[in-house]
Amino acid sequence: MNELLGIIDAIEARLMEGKKLPFTDKVVVHEGQILMLLDKLRIVAGNDSDAVRKAVEIGNEPVTNEAVSEEKIDIQEADLTKAHDEALRIKEDAAVYADNVLAHLQLLVTKMQKNIIKLEQNLESGRSMMDRISDTKDTHS
């Protein structure tokens, strides 16, 4: 059981060391390290099934295979619900992030358009000035 806790602590440490993604509560971790620790966890849990069964016992009553199966189904349903909720939250966060990026890009395009208009005006002004200069040269010749 101490090995299980040690591996769980190692997984937790890897998660805490991970880099946080902006605008989310997500963390980037080294997949290989986590998978290796999970494999170790499976091996230790598989070898220590009696200890795991004792830890899962309710009161003094041993857990039956039927109870374990029902518990697994409940856990799977809870995991699916949690995963669905998490997916919706991620989707909403992504939509907010995308909207912010698009708003920023729109602002940049608007500023660029204004600068292009000013540049066009400067070009026209310069050409007009050049035309006036050439007109005055022609009249003085």
Does residue 117 form part of some domain? Answer: no
Does residue 135 form part of some domain? Answer: no
Task: Note the pLDDT of residue 58.
Answer: 45
Q: Report the share of the chain in percent with pLDDT over 90.
A: 30
Task: Note the pLDDT of residue 67.
Answer: 57
Q: In this structure, how many other beta carbons lie within 10 angstroms of the beta carbon of residue 19?
A: 9
**What is the C-alpha to C-alpha distance for residues 102 and 90, in angstroms, rounded to an integer?**
18
Does residue 20 form part of some domain? Answer: yes
Does residue 44 form part of some domain? Answer: yes
pTM of the predicted model over 0.75: no
Domain assignment of residue 33, given as a range: 2-112
pLDDT digit string (tens) for 110-125? 999 999 999 999 999 9
pLDDT digit string (tens) for 74-113? 777 878 888 888 899 999 999 999 999 999 999 999 999 9
| Number of domain units in the chain | 1
Nearest to 14 by CA among 32, 35, 29, 36: 29
**What is the C-alpha to C-alpha distance for residues 19 and 28, in angstroms, rounded to an integer?**
5
* Predicted confidence band of residue 38 (pLDDT cuts 50, 70, 90): confident
What value does the mean pLDDT of the chain take?
81
Does residue 106 form part of some domain? Answer: yes
Does residue 137 form part of some domain? Answer: no
Instruction: Specify the higher pLDDT residue, 55 or 43.
Output: 43
Does residue 81 form part of some domain? Answer: yes
Task: Note the pLDDT of residue 41.
Answer: 83
pLDDT digit string (tens) for 124-136? 999 999 999 888 8
Does residue 131 form part of some domain? Answer: no
